[in-house]
Structure 1
């Protein structure tokens, strides 16, 4: 898009988005050791083997900082991050919308791995963060006329391009509609760690997520909240009928 048009579209926003990630870090290391001292040593060794955090993410809780640490996975990166681009922290306005995003990728994983069995219930952590700063809002003018580009379920070419232009202009956030959430609620792409208002999450929840090839089942660890997503609801590949 025209750089002057983008510059004129910049506005300031604030949000408190949710992000859901698999909660396997400490459990994985505990399975390999016999004492807490051994676990601490193992985790220190693992930490030293990781890429260094960017300086502006060093003071953040690891669930806020981690997306800025690792390179984008090939072959396509993610919606607002191409290969070689800086990190992006993705969140959604509602925890159920963030769960829908996770559901899509878990279903894609099974669809792409025919020999992999269904995934048993696995604990996930939902965190809520506070962010604020300059932003492009892709549901507002002048962007809404290109909603098909921003919400393309298969190609990230247009969104990665606009994110690169946003970074050139010093934009901190991009707000857009979720492609995977059946209700298409707002999501936030955080382009810089400087957008976080506080170094710790505002709140955390634990969810158990079970995945079959037909659907994803999710519920909080105490069962107070639960939701299910069929593959068709989140736009995931449909399971191949058995013959």
Structure 2
């Protein structure tokens, strides 16, 4: 039984906006530089890689790559609001600490899912930035959607959230979903389903964070800012 009623879409979709933090792995330039002997060769390699990528959906055309990338690829690995076969979803968090927690958790998942790595540790570099989400939204922290809180906050069973995202797309009224982070209770997140709901602020800034993860925790570091993410599977 689905944890929502279809009639909730009639009065439960409201205009909303939020600045959301997102962290993305920042190693692709390093990876291509290892393969070439000159900057011209590196530029040509980047051009060839770009040409080999799947086309962007029409709604994502013209978006900055930090915003459009999740809509270009259909990862076989599911996430909270996207099954492996579903269209892309852009995730962000209202608080920077919540974004760090989400990045740390998914790096831990990657480590634990890799048989040759799970006994060691993983160090990665990430670019953190803020984007503006604005448009009609389903807010799972407010009535009537909060009545399904038990389903939305399952730690590892994403099926109810994925079914809701498919229903949101089918109804065509909402462009993004606002919800509470399961990994950092009290933190707020956004799952953007429609590329047109996203934009970069005119004065957006980029931050470089280093993530070190092992079986027990993730450590996030940026200059003097530090976030420790204890892992609870």
What residue number does 1:227 align with? Answer: 227
Mind listing any 5+ residue stretches in structure 1 that lack a counterpart? Answer: 237-243
The reply on whether 1:80 has 2:75 as its aligned counterpart is no
In 1, Cα distance between equivalents of 2:179 and 2:45: 40
Alignment of 1:4-83 (within 5 A): 4-74=7-77, 77-83=78-84
CA contact (8 A) 1:59 1:199 kept: no
In 1, Cα distance between equivalents of 2:40 and 2:73: 27
Helix, strand or coil for the counterpart of 1:97? Answer: helix
Q: What's the CA shift string for 1:114-168, capped at 9, x where partnerless?
A: 4315335321100100110000000111121211100111111111111111112
Mind listing any 5+ residue stretches in structure 2 that lack a counterpart? Answer: none
In 2, Cα distance between equivalents of 1:20 and 1:201: 17
What residue number does 1:107 align with? Answer: 108
User: Structure 1 residues 200 and 58, CA, compared in 2 at 3 Å: closer, same or farther?
Assistant: farther
What residue number does 1:147 align with? Answer: 149
CA contact (8 A) 2:8 2:145 kept: no
CA contact (8 A) 1:215 1:228 kept: yes
In 2, Cα distance between equivalents of 1:168 and 1:184: 29
The TM-score with structure 1 as length reference comes to 0.88
In 1, Cα distance between equivalents of 2:53 and 2:138: 32
In 2, Cα distance between equivalents of 1:83 and 1:200: 33
What residue number does 1:240 align with? Answer: none
State the 4+ residue runs in structure 1 displaced beyond 4 angstroms.
198-201
Please give the root-mean-square deviation of Cα atoms over the aligned residues, in Å: 1.7
CA contact (8 A) 1:52 1:69 kept: yes
CA contact (8 A) 1:129 1:200 kept: no
CA contact (8 A) 2:32 2:45 kept: yes
CA contact (8 A) 1:22 1:122 kept: yes
What residue number does 2:175 align with? Answer: 172
